[in-house]
Structure 1
Amino acid sequence: MADLTITDVRLTPVLISDPPLLNVQGVHQPYTPRLVVEVVTADGTTGVGETYGDTKYLELARPYAELLPGHSVADLNGLHTLAQQVGVDDARVEHAIDVGGLRGVQTADKLRLSVVSAFEVACLDALGKAYGLPVHALLGGKVRDHVEYSAYLFYRWAAHPGGAGESDDWGAALDPAGIVAQARRFVRDHGFRSFKLKGGVFAPEQEIAAVRALAEAFPGQPLRLDPNGAWSPGTSLRVAKELEGLLEYLEDPAPGTSAMAEVSAGTDVPLATNMCVTTFPEIRQAFLTDAVQVVLCDHHYWGGLRNTRELAAVCRTFGVGLSMHSNTHMGISLAAMTQVAATVTDLDHSCDSHYPWQTEDVITRRHTFEDGRLEVSDAPGLGIDLDREALDRLHRRWLDEAAYGAMRDRDDAAAMRRAEGREDWTAPALPRW
């Protein structure tokens, strides 16, 4: 019988290249931090997980990892109990905006969940390998063989200013024509059949024009717009009226549950969120006030894959739709997303993913989208293998504090300030319009 006792935990922070993608906070940095978690059992089985790599996550992950030797990878409930033993500097995180995820107010409890999520995935990966089962089997079994993803469109610059970061051949997308061209490439390269535009960058009229251009270029295909709380309820209602009949849903147009409820009461366009509902205590107000009709789950936010399934059950109970949020992730997280998405019966909308924008990874074989979908792996665990050479290379970049230390914490506003001619930029107060 396999010995499932954890004997070692390895934490490897990395910096991965990121294009100059724009949002309401500013612009993505040339490199973004991620944390790779490995748990090793007594019989030599290794499981892997991934989450945010910013300093505040590392400061919690390190003492948490020290508690795990002697713990069984099968004791998944115990992971959350152990997390409560690790203190969090509340003054550092409470009421701070998490610009990396644009997820609203950050708290100590949310921080713990985001850290535990990576360890839970690593334990599930190890457990699946030990028993020769895919993670989806450990979650109750898959209900679909493929998971559909959506093209994630961004306003962007052609390159990071000053030659920073890695170059690509996407070019700039700063107007409706540029967004449509970007969408066409996503279709050509990956076969996506739905499109999400990250808004909140330009005045609402310009973003309305971009959605209309997408609707003309891709008639009948699902479209989404996400301004990350950039608009007041009045502006949100005006945009909703302009785009009625074109949007699958409008995501977080206004900041906070109360503002979203005000918008919801004035439009039939479905509202989605990954900002005002990111933990179980936030569900009650949002659902009882009909503030949102779609929740974008994210196992990093919610504390793992099993909590994601619990969220799905709550949404089903209240008749609220379910989709899946994405952060700037690598292939470990995408594998975990796909495994849990395969088990959710009522996954009503295609999932988000930044993955096509990420050119660097730590797995031996990149995920490949076909017809906008990923095949659900039936291999043991997550069905992926670490590329040790790539992991080491990206970790060495993180270690080079002189060259990359400013990017160990993602800060889109700071990245905008570092851009040429934008020294005075500050992240705008929300709502912006």
Structure 2
Amino acid sequence: MEITDVTAVTVDVPLTSTDEHLGIAPYTTNHGELESMERVLVRVDTDEGIEGWGEMRVFLSPTATESLIEDGIGPMVVGQSPFEIERLRRQVFVEYTNVDMFFSAVETACWDIVGKALDRPVYELLGGWTAPTQSTLQHRSHVADGTRNPGPVPVAFCLGILPPEESRVKAREALDAGFDVLKTKAGRDWRQDVARIKAMHDETDGQLEFRLDPNQGWTLDQAVRVGAMLEDEGIYLQYLEQPIRVDSHVSLARLRQRLRQPIAPNEDTYVPHNISSLVEAGAMDVGVIDLTPAGGISGIRQQAAILEDAGVPFTHHCAFDLGIRTAAILHAVSGIPGFSLPPDSTYYAWEGDVISEPFEVEDGCLPAPLGPGLGISVDRDAVEAYRI
């Protein structure tokens, strides 16, 4: 089997309003505000008629992202076997820059092709169901040939920056919908960040765990104040995500020593070899990793091995993923050993999707796809409807 073509198309899908149940738009962060999200869908075709799909976010512009994939990555892989994923990953090399993120969607599509050709789900190709979370253990099942199916995957509810009282309402919605963890953005006003966590903690009587993510928006002294003030209130976060700027590993280690709040680098993990550096510096309690900057499922498997060997728990980041990348994430966290915390997700907040059978979020969980490859099929009409 050979790859014959790589194509990319950008869609723009709206998010549901905060006025609606589990709605999150406008989603406000330290860097901006979102009412919708542009996503690049990548299709890889083969000479045997089997196609695979991948997905990534837009970088710089839709035209630039599509061109880098079609005109840059495409010629590197056309004519080669989608089964040789690891070799392709090492072959995609450009001096002076890191093109892993643009290869990631192509790499995911190759996994989709291989699974379809072998009539096996991607999580099984990764070694089989290994997710250790308690909710998954309670739902596990077996099929006739003895293969163990993964159960529903618990996910964390994600919320932008809202006033404390509005955040309180959304926290109650999340808890009532069965979520155990809520991640909220931060970084515009550290005092308000503290006030919002306190309001949500009080509203849910401590039944929700919280992740607080300022996207590098605090200085070191502000991060100390936030963590200490929450500790004084008896609130212990699941983690503080990337509280200060990237490449400040010594400062992260000092922050970790001063607080009892777990420190979880995210943007820092996007840089090659940074995970090893963070582990050596003693700068992380939790890893928040992402298959797109890692270069795909193979890349994130490599990162997961480093973290697992170091005894560091880790989870998967969310980038407003539609059904294609959501499926890839669900396969990764089910089939790669070491994922022990619920991945972030905003899937419940899309007004629509580009897959034929969108996932249903039930009791704070997403179902693990069980079909061949990624276990999803793309709705071409929906792609055209959202295409920009």
- TM-score tier (shorter): 0.7 to 0.9
Q: Does 1:12 align with 2:9?
A: yes
Q: What is the 5 A alignment of 1:358-377?
A: 358-377=350-369
Contact 1:139 1:306 in 2 (8 A): no
> Take 2:317 and 2:264, find their aligned partners in 1: how far apart are those partners?
10
How many Å apart are 1:298 and its aligned residue?
0.8
Contact 2:6 2:69 in 1 (8 A): no
Q: What is the 5 A alignment of 1:52-63?
A: 52-54=57-59, 55=61, 56-63=64-71
How many Å apart are 1:82 and its aligned residue?
4.0
Which residue of 2 is the match for residue 136 of structure 1? 123
Amino acid at match of 2:113: A
Amino acid at match of 1:199: A
1:25 corresponds, among 25, 31, 34, to 31
> Take 1:125 and 1:375, find their aligned partners in 2: how far apart are those partners?
18
Post-superposition CA distance 1:216-248 (Å, at most 9, x none)? 222243111111111111111111111124311
Post-superposition CA distance 1:28-72 (Å, at most 9, x none)? 2x4432111111222211111101233343232122213333111
Post-superposition CA distance 1:286-332 (Å, at most 9, x none)? 11221111111111111111221221111111121201111022110
2:191 corresponds, among 192, 200, 205, to 205
How many Å apart are 1:279 and its aligned residue?
3.3
Which residue of 2 is the match for residue 196 of structure 1? 183
Q: What is the 5 A alignment of 1:56-71?
A: 56-63=64-71, 64-71=73-80
> Take 1:40 and 1:341, find their aligned partners in 2: how far apart are those partners?
26
Amino acid at match of 1:84: F
> Take 1:24 and 1:394, find their aligned partners in 2: how far apart are those partners?
27
Runs of 4 or more off by more than 6 Å in structure 1? none
> Take 2:74 and 2:250, find their aligned partners in 1: how far apart are those partners?
38
2:89 corresponds, among 70, 76, 80, to 80
Taking structure 2 as the reference length, what is the TM-score of the superposition? 0.85
> Take 1:14 and 1:121, find their aligned partners in 2: how far apart are those partners?
18
Q: What is the 5 A alignment of 1:82-161?
A: 82-84=91-93, 108-109=97-98, 112-144=99-131, 145=150, 146-155=152-161
Q: Secondary structure at the match of 1:74?
A: coil
> Take 1:20 and 1:177, find their aligned partners in 2: how far apart are those partners?
16
> Take 2:268 and 2:180, find their aligned partners in 1: how far apart are those partners?
27
> Take 1:143 and 1:391, find their aligned partners in 2: how far apart are those partners?
33
Contact 1:191 1:369 in 2 (8 A): no
> Take 2:159 and 2:58, find their aligned partners in 1: how far apart are those partners?
24
Task: Note the residue ranges of structure 1 that are not aligned, 5 or more in a row.
Answer: 91-107, 156-173, 399-433
Amino acid at match of 1:185: E
Which residue of 2 is the match for residue 423 of structure 1? none
Contact 1:14 1:53 in 2 (8 A): no
> Take 1:186 and 1:59, find their aligned partners in 2: how far apart are those partners?
39
Post-superposition CA distance 1:190-214 (Å, at most 9, x none)? 421111111113x212111111122
> Take 1:294 and 1:348, find their aligned partners in 2: how far apart are those partners?
10
Contact 2:121 2:375 in 1 (8 A): yes
> Take 1:285 and 1:386, find their aligned partners in 2: how far apart are those partners?
39
Give the 3 Å change call, closer, same or farther, for CA 50–372 of structure 1 in structure 2. Answer: same
Which residue of 2 is the match for residue 266 of structure 1? 258
> Take 2:386 and 2:7, find their aligned partners in 1: how far apart are those partners?
15
Amino acid at match of 2:317: H
Contact 1:17 1:31 in 2 (8 A): yes
> Take 1:69 and 1:227, find their aligned partners in 2: how far apart are those partners?
41
> Take 2:194 and 2:31, find their aligned partners in 1: how far apart are those partners?
20
Q: Secondary structure at the match of 1:224?
A: strand
Q: What is the 5 A alignment of 1:248-263?
A: 248-256=238-246, 257-263=249-255
1:314 corresponds, among 306, 316, 319, to 306
> Take 1:329 and 1:49, find their aligned partners in 2: how far apart are those partners?
11
Amino acid at match of 1:278: Y
Which residue of 1 is the match for residue 56 of structure 2? 51
Amino acid at match of 1:336: A
How many Å apart are 1:384 and its aligned residue?
0.6
Give the 3 Å change call, closer, same or farther, for CA 351–58 of structure 1 in structure 2. Answer: same
Give the 3 Å change call, closer, same or farther, for CA 285–8 of structure 1 in structure 2. Answer: closer
Which residue of 2 is the match for residue 94 of structure 1? none
Contact 1:233 1:262 in 2 (8 A): no
> Take 2:185 and 2:283, find their aligned partners in 1: how far apart are those partners?
20
Contact 1:260 1:291 in 2 (8 A): yes
Q: Does 1:182 align with 2:191?
A: no
Q: Secondary structure at the match of 1:314?
A: helix
Which residue of 1 is the match for residue 322 of structure 2? 330
What is the root-mean-square deviation in Å for CA atoms of aligned residues?
1.8
Contact 2:42 2:55 in 1 (8 A): yes
Which residue of 1 is the match for residue 136 of structure 2? none
**Percent of counterpart pairs with the same letter?**
29
> Take 1:234 and 1:274, find their aligned partners in 2: how far apart are those partners?
20
Amino acid at match of 1:255: R
> Take 2:340 and 2:229, find their aligned partners in 1: how far apart are those partners?
24
Q: Secondary structure at the match of 1:269?
A: coil
